[in-house]
Amino acid sequence: MQNRVDINRATAADRGALRLNYSKLRLLILEAGDHILKFCHDVNIPVASHEAKYDNRVAKDIAAGVYNCIIIDGAYSNAGYDRILESVSNQPPFIPIIVIDGSLHYLRKGASESIASQDLSARRLETALFNADRLCKLNNRTAHLETELSAFIEEDPLTALPGRSKFRIKMAKAIEKAHSTKTTVSLIVLDLDSFKGLNESRGHDFGDEILKTVAKRLFRFAPDNAIVGRLGDDEFALLVSDDTFTGPSHSTVAVRLSHEIHKPYIVDGQKTEVSATIGIATLDDHDTPDGLLHKSISALYAAKRDKTRFMVYTQEDDIERRQQLRLAQDLPEAITSDQLRLHYQPIVRMSDQKVVGVEALVRWQHPKQGLLFPDRFIPLAESSGSIEGLTKWVLKASVEQGSRWLAKGERFSVSVNISALILHNPSFPDMVARMLNKTGFPAELLKLEITESAIISDVSRATDVVTRLHEMGVRVSIDDFGTGYTSLAYLRKLPVDEIKIDKSFVLNMRTIADDEVIVRTLLELAKNLGLSVVAEGVEDIETWHMLADLGCDVAQGYYMSRPIDVAAFDTWIKTQPWIQDLK
């Protein structure tokens, strides 16, 4: 190993030199020590993961798109580094690699830049990151253009259907003819539900067979003069003249097509079912090909938003989609400019009516639209790439508030909801550990709430992340329990501390016998597995007494308090007017 300059410390000038927005940076550092890691922390460059060596686990994470930039320590000879350069810097999707103390060998292999440790500064590294990112985008854009160009010439190699560009050319010709002959034309766009999870759990070969079968079914379903295409990944399109369906309404066509797609698939002896969400739009006199496609995709997104099987385009849906797009664009600034707020809902132990914790629920104080609730912007954060920054903000604000309560002698657990995208990020436990260390908040008072669907979508990765959190002392709760598909095998395997019975069962348990039976069964299940239980949705004293009689541990709901800001909570905790009804 060569002699190297100490890069553990950065000057004040270094720390003030940074100008780039790193909210989307997912940086992997590969080094045997921690020189580079400490430097990045000193100059406030976020690090997604720090690994001592390149192995199969790291390779899988890189292939899965967990990271979008890599820094390696070239002072240590490592054959694995050559494999990284060959696999990610020379083929799409290109990932920039920066080498510290690396020889020309690494540059010849495809590294974006090599920096000697004695030359390393915040500005130097920032410039390298900026240039590497631009080169990466250029390479990816070039690869994308090459792919699009081939689409003009060739059919989609997997399904033998026209690709996106070729489909658009065919659609443009059909629309031009429809305008001249005053023919009515409709465009149907469909997207396979949860296909990514299926692809990852069953393998890409399995997924490819599903896509080929879908293409065949669409081709059989379509009239002779229709145009069928694959727009990309698991998205397909079907352009038809309305009269070719001999009069059925859009709803009838959508139901028939949905039924056709939903028929069982058998691949290599494995049986599975796939559903699709459908958007439909009809050609208007002023519509261009892009305009018609935009309308169909707007209808598709509206169907996904409303969790319906299909949707026919309306102008109102298009306006809603544009509003959602603007919200998604505003969200990164909201995270960094103090527009987010936390409200806290008390969690009460039923045996002695003691407040033992709170659930932290984020709100967005939008400068134009007022106070927005999570259902308006959490899905946008997940789809736009802002979920990591949002989660980090919520975690930080939650543990800081928990620490302030603790300093005043009020020991509350703080529950935070975690997205499936975050749960499957292997660097997430490291982020939690740094936050706890920085604030001094006890790990056992932090409770992370995850959904059953988040576990099922990637059991292996979820198990690894949950296990690491558990080993740190952080408690893990399964939220909305009873609405998903968690099996007893998963519950036994995962180091889970608690389940939260979904409020949909609790709300109606006084009037619907089946819901009362479900709540009773879930309480018995939890008891047998050694798990504590929180019942959500307790809105009246009668439900409280029913849960108490069933032996429920903890309750949460409007009967005790709605989610309120910290000032209102500090006032509420002193009086707790709800308790008067129990006396």
Strands (E) located in 482-571: 498-501, 532-536, 554-556
Domain of residue 309, residue span: 155-313
**Domain holding 97: CATH number?**
3.40.50.2300
Q: In CATH, what number is assigned to the domain containing residue 438?
A: 3.20.20.450
Read off the pTM. Answer: 0.55
Residue 41 lies in a domain: yes
Question: Any idea what the CATH number is for the domain that residue 245 is in?
Answer: 3.30.70.270
Q: How far is CA 19 from CA 122, 123, 125, 223, in A?
A: 10, 9, 12, 56
What tens digit of pLDDT does each residue of 415-441 get?
Answer: 999 987 788 788 899 999 999 999 999
Residue 251 lies in a domain: yes
Report yes or no on 325 lying in a domain: no
Q: Please check whether residues 199 and 340 belong to one and the same domain.
A: no
Query: Residue 565 has what pLDDT?
Result: 95
| Closest among 135, 142, 260 to 190, alpha carbons compared | 260
581 falls within a domain: no
How confident is residue 224, by pLDDT bands cut at 50, 70 and 90? confident
How much is the pLDDT for 19? 54
Q: CA 139: distance to chain centroid? A: 26
Kind of pairing between the strands at 554-556 and 340-349: antiparallel
Has residue 564 been placed in a domain?
Answer: yes
Residue-level pLDDT at 443: 96
**pLDDT at position 16, please?**
46
Q: Do 497 and 411 fall within a single domain?
A: yes
In this predicted model, what pLDDT tens digit does every residue of 328-361 receive, in sequence order?
888 999 999 889 999 999 999 999 999 999 999 9
User: What's the structural domain count of the chain?
Assistant: 3
pLDDT recorded at residue 18: 47
Same domain, 346 and 199: no
Is there a single domain that holds both residue 302 and residue 356? no
In this prediction, residue 248 has a pLDDT band, given cuts at 50, 70 and 90, of low
**Do 448 and 500 reside in the same domain of the chain?**
yes
Pick 362 or 319 by higher pLDDT.
Answer: 362
The residues, any chain, with a CB within 8 Å of residue 404's CB and separated by 6 or more, are none
pLDDT digits (tens, 9 = 90+) for 446-467: 999 987 666 665 677 788 899 9
pLDDT band at residue 202 under the 50/70/90 scheme? confident
Instruction: List CB contacts of 313: < 8 A, sequence separation 6 or more.
Output: 279, 280, 281, 282, 295, 296, 298, 299, 302
- Considering the domain architecture, whether residues 356 and 478 belong to the same structural domain is answered as yes
- Cα gap 83→89, rounded to integer Å: 10
pLDDT at 12: 47
In this structure, are 93 and 177 located in the same domain?
Answer: no
CB atoms within 10 A of CB 485: 9
pLDDT at residue 551, as a whole number: 92
Residue 4 lies in a domain: no
Mean pLDDT within 390-419: 95
Say yes or no: 519 and 433 in one domain: yes
Among 124, 145, 166, identify where a domain stops. 145
Do residues 70 and 169 share a domain?
A: no
Backbone dihedral angles phi then psi of residue 34, each to the nearest 5 degrees: -140, 20
- Which of 145, 168, 200 marks a domain boundary? 145
Q: What percent of the chain has pLDDT over 70?
A: 86
On whether both 166 and 307 belong to a single domain, the answer is yes
Examine the fold and report which residue of 313, 343, 359 is the final residue of a domain before the chain moves on. Answer: 313
- The answer to whether residue 2 is domain-embedded is no
Residue 246 pLDDT: 47
Q: Are strands 340-349 and 235-241 parallel, antiparallel or unpaired?
A: unpaired
- Whether residues 426 and 527 fall in one domain: yes
Residue 324 falls inside a structural domain? no
Q: Are residues 125 and 175 in the same domain?
A: no
